[in-house]
Amino acid sequence: MKLPLKEIEEVKSIARPRYYNGSTKKRAILILHGFTGHPGDMDYLGNQLNENLDITVSIPRLSGHGTNATDFRSTGAIDWMRSAIDSYLDLKANFDKIIVAGLSMGGLLSLQLAGGFPLEKMILIAPALYSSDRLLPIAHFLKLFNIKMKQNSYENSLKNSETEEERLITEDYYKYHYSKQISELHKLMLSTRKIIPDIKTPSLIIASLEDKVVPLKAAEEISNRLSGPSTLEIFKDSPHVINDGPERELCAEKIIEFIRK
């Protein structure tokens, strides 16, 4: 699906979709980023999978992400799901089998895809079936006022922004909590919880004890409730974005090993 020229111009270069070609048409991997994230968050993992498995990797940009706050605030769960479905269908038109991997909200979208489409395998990284965010339970009420609240972690995130583009994305996506979008994320969590027992796709679930965003019980519940075979890997030293943290090499190795089985 082609984007309007105006939107293409607004997408930051680090947030643009990635596509790495492999040598076979037998299978491809779709990698989905998380809530307020962008394809750049998944780039290391995508590169590792492409180089080690010689497999085509697609990392799309979910609607409303990687542009600006105004764009983000005009989107919701249906838009993010549509981005995931469109990306899956684009790959399925050219490859026999599709593997899906998702970080956080991308994990929820992966589960939704597994509930509606044939997948060879599924990888869930810190899947956001639950959240440690205290605003989540009252987000449906706050969205009536379209409230935005400053995030406590904003200043620290800004300090860690190494480029001007990263700083701009941090200001647009990490300065405030947007109640409507948090409510939309919560809706996606609730709907995903209902379909887990129906999913038979072989799955690898990766979680971390140091994740301050998604509690460990999310990964444990998914692993226990899936109808298909699942493996749960628990890391000790990674923050929420496990695939781009201090244990990212180990994360990539576990995923490569799982895909090769």
pLDDT in tens, 10-68: 788 889 999 999 999 999 999 999 999 999 999 999 999 999 999 999 999 999 999 99
Report the pLDDT value the prediction gives residue 178, as an integer from 0 to 100: 84
Residue 160 lies in a domain: no
Residue 220: pLDDT over 60: yes
Residue 141 lies in a domain: no
Residue 108 lies in a domain: yes
Window from 1-15, 42-56, 166-180, 183-197 with minimum mean pLDDT: 1-15
Range of the domain at 39: 5-132+194-260
Report the pLDDT value the prediction gives residue 136, as an integer from 0 to 100: 75
Residue 181 lies in a domain: no
Residue 140 lies in a domain: no
Q: What is the CA radius of gyration of the chain?
A: 17
Confidence band, pLDDT 50/70/90 cuts, at residue 156:
low
Residue 164: pLDDT over 90: no
| Six-digit token string for 201 | 């796709």
Residue 139: pLDDT over 80: no
Q: Which of 63, 104, 179, 238 is catalytic?
A: 104
35 appears as a binding residue in the annotation: yes
Supply the CATH number for residue 211's domain.
3.40.50.1820
Confidence band, pLDDT 50/70/90 cuts, at residue 217:
very high
Q: What does the alpha-carbon distance between residue 210 and residue 97 come to, in Å, rounded to a whole number? A: 34
* b/e burial code for range 134-157 (CB count within 10 A of at least 16 → b): ebbeebeebbeeebbeebeebeeb
Structural domain total, the chain? 1
Residue 156 lies in a domain: no
Residue 47 lies in a domain: yes
Window from 40-54, 175-189, 217-231 with minimum mean pLDDT: 175-189
Tell me what the pLDDT averaged over the chain comes to. Answer: 91
Residue 91 lies in a domain: yes
What sections of the chain are H helices per DSSP?
A: 5-10, 43-53, 69-72, 77-92, 105-116, 139-142, 154-159, 164-173, 179-195, 216-225, 248-260
- Model pTM? 0.92
Residue 240 known to be catalytic? yes
Strand partners, 231: 204
Confidence band, pLDDT 50/70/90 cuts, at residue 2:
very low
Q: Which of 41, 43, 211, 244 is catalytic?
A: 211
189 appears as a binding residue in the annotation: no
Residue 244 known to be catalytic? no
Report the pLDDT value the prediction gives residue 163, as an integer from 0 to 100: 82
Residue 141: pLDDT over 90: no
Residue 211 known to be catalytic? yes
Q: What does the alpha-carbon distance between residue 207 and residue 191 come to, in Å, rounded to a whole number? A: 21
